[in-house]
Structure 1
Amino acid sequence: MLDADEPLWDVLEEHLDEAEFLWGQWEQSLVAPNYTLEEVETIVEPRLHAHLDGLVIGGAAAAERLLVPALESDESTRVSAAASALLLGPLESALDTLFTVLQDLPEQRPALVRAFACSDRADLVPRLQACLADVDEAIVAAAAEALLLRDESVSEALSVLLASDDPSLRSLGLRALAGEASGAAHVRAIHAGLADDDPGVVDAAIAAGLVLAPAPTWTRVRARAEEPDGDLALLLLALRGQTGDHAAVAALLADPSRRPAAIHALGHVGAPEWVDACLEWLDDATAGPLVGEMMQALTGVALDDEGLTLAVEDESLEHTPEDDLPRPDPLPTMQWWLRRRGQYEDGQRYLHGRPRIRAEIFLKGLVAGPMRRRAALLLDLQLAAPRGVLLRLQPRAAAARQREQLAELRRALGLG
């Protein structure tokens, strides 16, 4: 005879399996070209939360029997989902358990950091801040990463991170600088980062330098854009658009290895002449979807709705955001563009069919545009902000938190 108080283990196990799957779906949706923030908020997140809530309802027994063992899983999405359910649930030892795993199982740290970054639990931040004083640099880095994703200060750990022999830790310290009150005091660290041998450190120094040390940063950006992995710098040149910037980006269209990054960067300019320059690659399996994305961003057209796409099977081994871009049907798409080309003026930037002449247009893109393009829109706004002013938005945060940040961003831009 079944104990009336005994949890329905098969149901709870299904909740955990579904939470694992949906955590991965949620992560993908946050950078997807075919989701908006509203769709993430109303379609993806409710399903994930329903299964996390189902695990919480299982109580301490479910936490100990299912969730704690799941923290040792080889699947990062299972670890993140289990950790999130523990943070939501009633198990009194949940925090102690999670921080023990953080300490003892290095391979689980990225998944735990992601769960920590997404939790609203009030007593979590003090525990993370306490880790900033840990003797183990890796623990300091994990805690700092989680705090940084929550827009919390990591000032106690900056000296450790910036002086580390580990490039990933130096990168983390540099990424934190723009949001720290003392960031301007570390300009020398930015200069050192710009000259670093590690590309990740250079990119992190560029991100900080755009806010705190623009002059030397832009010099490095121009050189970095020429490097094989200099995609961030390429995007920055496209967005800045000073004399020679767009030409430097467009020159890389001739290089097949850099062409996708160049099309992506020029697609964020939103000027019709760059669509013209990229039309010849509409039939390319890799570049074609990026050209189509450029058209969609500029005009606001939905290629699928206009019947301008081809049905293709996704044969990639690892799913990327680009895999969700529609594949344009080359001839009809080119004809469609040429019929409408006269509506758009050379040299003018457009977003969803409207000139990019006000911050409000950018903000609308952040609120209602494709998730994949929002990080670049924020960067575009940041480049126009006064020196030392950081516009905050975490594109990989939960939708509710992003809504709060968007409201703050609106106020910061003087839009009420």
Structure 2
Amino acid sequence: MRASDDEPLWDVLEEHLDEAEFLWESWEGSLVAPNYTLAEVEANVESRLHAHLDGLVIGGPVAAQQLLVPALESDESGRVAAAAAALLLGPDETALSTLFAALHELPAARPALVRAFACIDRAELLPRLRACLTDVDEAIVGAAAEALVFRHEPLGEALSVLLASDEPALRGLGLRALAGEPGGAGQVRAIQAALADEAPQVVDAAIAAGLVLAPAPTWTRVRSRAEQPDGALALLLLALRDGPGDRAALLAALGDASRRPAAIYALGHVGAPELVDACLEWLDDGDCGPLVGEAMQALTGLDLDEAGVTATVEDEATEHTPEHDLARPDPLPAMQWWLRQRPRFADGQRYLQGEPRARAGVIEALTSGPMRRRPALLLDLQLKAPRGALLRLQTAAPTARQRRELAELRRALG
């Protein structure tokens, strides 16, 4: 790979960096995609990403200093994250100092740097992150805390700094950390106060923490939050709980155009055939039709593409989202297909992948089902866990870490 004993082949290394940037972005998309499973992410995207990161590591300290360090100033987050990951994986002893200097000096690069810190393991990384928790700059505290929370690491005294912050994003981060903190159960008052916060992101974070530590006041807030246009999480929680009155609240949301897509997505997680029936009139809607199709597939366990009831539609969106990768039902054939399947499924029964919904089926879908639906499946299991028990699985982590956490989750659930 070298033109001489000392000089790397720069064109090869630059190609590795370009490919690593592209594949990092592809990997991030695959983690929330409806058309990827965990095994497919690992085999089709992550393995290729690691091959190019390894190629950058082979370049050694010279390539690190002349190619990777300058890339940290890129405007492209995927390039920053890939360069940071390669620096963390490489042998350069100055890499950590360089990366933490960038964390302080390059605010625009912080989200990508934090993502690399969250996903790549390296000796001394955790102590450096913990040291940042005492920084005088609240933004640095938040950046380090985000990486540590993703790794299920406690925040200690920094937690109170986050909860008292004037920044909604930092208050929300502190609330998300609560359930995993050793003294989190003593923060019920903080959760109750945050449930009344004016910032929606803080309320949703309080709801997530409250479901583990303070369910009673939290569920009251969930019902009112579900009535707001941006209350998608609350609608999903009502669907997963499926308690008295929850289905009525979800069906009522179908009549509100601003909440309809979130309501259809939530109803698809109930897995009741009569609720799919209630969504059929939106099969021909550009935004809602794919969500109805997704609900059909999740309930029956059958693929709409393989059934030949999908249509090809040119994607003209300027920003690609996971919903754009959903199968687009061809309304009439899809309706006819559903009516043929419908007699197999009884009203009043919940189904997942063609079988009556049960914990074993949820765990199996969490292991081998579509990536897009896995966070909701984990949330379903969390709602049924004992109060104060936190199920630790990061569905946006590298696949090897996810497999370890899945194994621990299965042991915890027996």
Distance 1:215 1:149 in 2: 27
Q: Report the aligned-residue RMSD.
A: 1.0
Alpha-carbon deviation of 1:2? 4.7
Match for 1:60: what amino acid? P
Alpha-carbon deviation of 1:306? 0.9
What does the per-residue CA deviation read over 1:264-320, in whole Å, with 9 as the maximum and x for residues that have no partner? 000011110111001111111110000000000000111111111001111110110
Partner of 2:246: 245
Partner of 1:54: 55
Alpha-carbon deviation of 1:392? 1.1
Distance 1:255 1:408 in 2: 41
Partner of 1:378: 378
Match for 2:201: what amino acid? G
Aligned residues: 413
Distance 2:172 2:3 in 1: 55
Partner of 1:365: 365
Partner of 1:122: 123
What does the per-residue CA deviation read over 1:51-77, in whole Å, with 9 as the maximum and x for residues that have no partner? 000000000010001000000000001
Distance 2:157 2:23 in 1: 35
1:283-322 equivalences in 2 (<5 Å)? 283-322=284-323
- Give the TM-score of the pair, scaled to structure 1: 0.98
Residue 389 (structure 2) pairs with residue 389 (structure 1): yes
Q: Is the contact between residue 3 and residue 9 of structure 2 (CA under 8 Å) also seen in structure 1?
A: no
Alpha-carbon deviation of 1:123? 1.2
Alpha-carbon deviation of 1:156? 2.5
Partner of 1:7: 8
Q: Is the contact between residue 114 and residue 144 of structure 2 (CA under 8 Å) also seen in structure 1?
A: yes
Partner of 1:37: 38
- Give the TM-score of the pair, scaled to structure 2: 0.99
Q: Could you tell which deviates more after superposition, 49-58 or 150-159?
A: 150-159
Alpha-carbon deviation of 1:155? 2.0
Match for 1:290: what amino acid? L
Partner of 2:408: 408
Match for 2:328: what amino acid? R
Distance 2:412 2:89 in 1: 32
SS in 1 for 2:20: helix
1:219-298 equivalences in 2 (<5 Å)? 219-298=220-299
SS in 2 for 1:155: coil
Distance 2:401 2:314 in 1: 35
Partner of 1:181: 182
What does the per-residue CA deviation read over 1:304-344, in whole Å, with 9 as the maximum and x for residues that have no partner? 11111001111110110000001001111111111111111
SS in 2 for 1:313: coil
Alpha-carbon deviation of 1:4? 4.2
1:327-342 equivalences in 2 (<5 Å)? 327-342=328-343
Unaligned runs of 5+ in 2: none
Partner of 2:20: 19
Structure 1 moving runs of 4+ over 6 Å: none
Alpha-carbon deviation of 1:3? 2.6
Match for 1:223: what amino acid? S
Alpha-carbon deviation of 1:255? 1.4
Distance 2:234 2:122 in 1: 37
Q: Could you tell which deviates more after superposition, 119-128 or 9-18?
A: 119-128
Alpha-carbon deviation of 1:185? 0.9
Match for 1:413: what amino acid? L
Residue 328 (structure 2) pairs with residue 344 (structure 1): no
SS in 2 for 1:348: coil
Q: Is the contact between residue 154 and residue 181 of structure 2 (CA under 8 Å) also seen in structure 1?
A: yes
What does the per-residue CA deviation read over 1:158-188, in whole Å, with 9 as the maximum and x for residues that have no partner? 1100111111111000000011111011111
Unaligned runs of 5+ in 1: none
What does the per-residue CA deviation read over 1:97-122, in whole Å, with 9 as the maximum and x for residues that have no partner? 00000011111110000000001112
Distance 2:342 2:156 in 1: 51
Partner of 1:398: 398
Distance 1:137 1:45 in 2: 33
1:155-234 equivalences in 2 (<5 Å)? 155-234=156-235
What does the per-residue CA deviation read over 1:365-401, in whole Å, with 9 as the maximum and x for residues that have no partner? 0011000000000001111111101111101000000
